[in-house]
Structure 1
């Protein structure tokens, strides 16, 4: 697997409101695989990352699908945003 970097990293909230930066498709894939749950958005993010890793889609396509998953779970860090008061940040280690 070659590291496929995103044009712009994705930042997500983990643990007790700590940001984690995902720079590559592999980072996003590992995060989605470790996430507790089995939502349609999570499964789509995993499939998109797998497709990017196999060369079927580009890294930015996988980034878009992963970003939609993170947004749906309220863990996507937006520029200048503070940690969520009560978000779904329970599942991945920082």
Structure 2
């Protein structure tokens, strides 16, 4: 039976899912150097859980612990994102944001390069 209580539960679940979303994705090079966008705490957690044990270090532990804290709501998603970026920089897998001004005859609009 679908009623107000079910609608409230669905709304709360949706809000919980959105709470784990990053404001901006983090793009990393994974596998054979393919770019992968990480949009949420759960995606970051999955990536770090799958990370090869030989490549795990202090930065990995900090990022993984941040993900765990983010999942249970102890820290906000942007803090998790910052630790993921630090981890990615340390492992040289971070793809920098590429917003480049492209001059146009109509007047220098800024375009995002993906």
What TM-score results when the alignment is normalised by the length of structure 1? 0.79
Task: Point out where structure 1 has 5 or more consecutive residues left out of the alignment.
Answer: 81-94
Equivalent in the alignment of 1:83: none
SS at structure 2 position matched to 1:60 = helix
More helix per residue: 2
Equivalent in the alignment of 1:14: 30
SS at structure 2 position matched to 1:56 = coil
Post-superposition shift, 1:15? 1.8
Query: Any residues of structure 2 matched to 1:61-72 within 5 Å, and which?
Result: 61-72=79-90
Give the structure with higher Rg (CA).
2
Q: 2:60 aligns with which of 18, 27, 42?
A: 42
Runs of 4+ residues over 3 Å off in structure 1: none
Equivalent in the alignment of 2:21: 5
Q: 1:23 aligns with which of 39, 43, 46?
A: 39
Q: 2:69 aligns with which of 43, 51, 64?
A: 51
Q: How many residues align?
A: 80
What TM-score results when the alignment is normalised by the length of structure 2? 0.66
Larger RCO, structures 1/2 (Cα 8 Å, 6+ apart): 1
Question: What is the alpha-carbon root mean square deviation over aligned residues?
Answer: 1.4
Post-superposition shift, 1:38? 2.0
